[in-house]
Amino acid sequence: MNWSNLKLIVAREVRDQMRDRRTLFMIVVLPILLYPLLGMSFFQISQFMSEQPTSVLIVAYEETPHAPALVENQHFSPDLFGKPDQYRLLELHFARTEPDEPESGDGDAPRITTEAEAREAVLAGRYDAALFFPADFSKRLARVRRSHADWARNVRHGRTQEEDADEEPPPQATALPTVPQPEVIYTTANEKSQIAFARLCKVLRRWREKISLENLIVSGVPPAAVKPFEVGTSDIAKETGTSGAAAWAKILPVMLLIWALTGAFYPARRIARPARNGLPANNVAARRYW
């Protein structure tokens, strides 16, 4: 390889690129315009994912006595969120189940009594998601709590099946009443509906954990028996100062792809273009230099 020939090739290509306005635009101007637009788009998406409120329709909800509150002041309980002020991200609309039932705080609560009607409301786009409670959900949930209390009382008094073999064991000692599950209605065709579904599932999971904790206390079982330890985490990337390596590993391939599509392919195409107007092809001239 002759370095003087290499310098001639490089100088010639640089000179050709500087003369071509389209190439200069693709290599210099377009990335300057494109990268800020991409950054603003990603920023808007992140803002939409984290701060945009979503509307949720609540159907057939009744407060359960002696149970952790799910709804407080027409909103989900702030205790059910990672941050107390995040309850504003879920706007609740309570459906009327009876014709003469007073309207909720939103002033235009629809009358919805079945799960099919709730599905139609979400499908029509009036709400991002819906939470449907089966009939007698709160009563059956309270019955489960009483069953736990009765079972614990019978155990404390020594009335277990093993000690009183002649007597019929109490029903709550063998089986607990079942509770029908609430239904979360959403659609994957709508991004806001998916966000509402994710937020709603987190709230319901925390509510269920609180109810389970209350049932353990009523049954006389210490909560530490179910959750004996916590799992600690340690991010060594923060200690070594390489926490941004994963982000750059995802960004750099995209940047290289954009560079390749906007700038690098065009000079390569110019080098390998065929002969025209009786002039030798660029690739032939390049081989002659080598």
pLDDT of residue 180: 81
pLDDT of residue 119: 93
This prediction's pTM: 0.61
Helices (H) and strands (E) in the chain, counts: 12, 6
**Can you tell me the distance from the alpha carbon of 79 to that of 211, in angstroms, rounded to the nearest whole number?**
13
Whether the predicted pLDDT of 209 surpasses 50: yes
Instruction: Let me know: does 75 contact 87? Beta carbons within 8 Å.
Output: yes
Whether the predicted pLDDT of 270 surpasses 70: no
* Confidence band of 80 (pLDDT split at 50, 70, 90): very high
Mean pLDDT of 86-101: 81
Taking only the tens place, the pLDDT of each residue in 13-46 is: 888 877 877 777 777 777 787 778 777 877 766 7
Whether the predicted pLDDT of 191 surpasses 50: yes
**SS3 at position 55:** strand
In terms of Cα–Cα distance, which of 196, 51, 49, 60 is closest to 122? 196
Instruction: Let me know: does 97 contact 58? Beta carbons within 8 Å.
Output: no
Element (H, E) at 180: none
Q: What amino acid occupies position 3?
A: W
**SS3 at position 54:** strand
Of residues 270 and 194, more confidently modeled: 194
pLDDT of residue 158: 62
Element (H, E) at 104: none
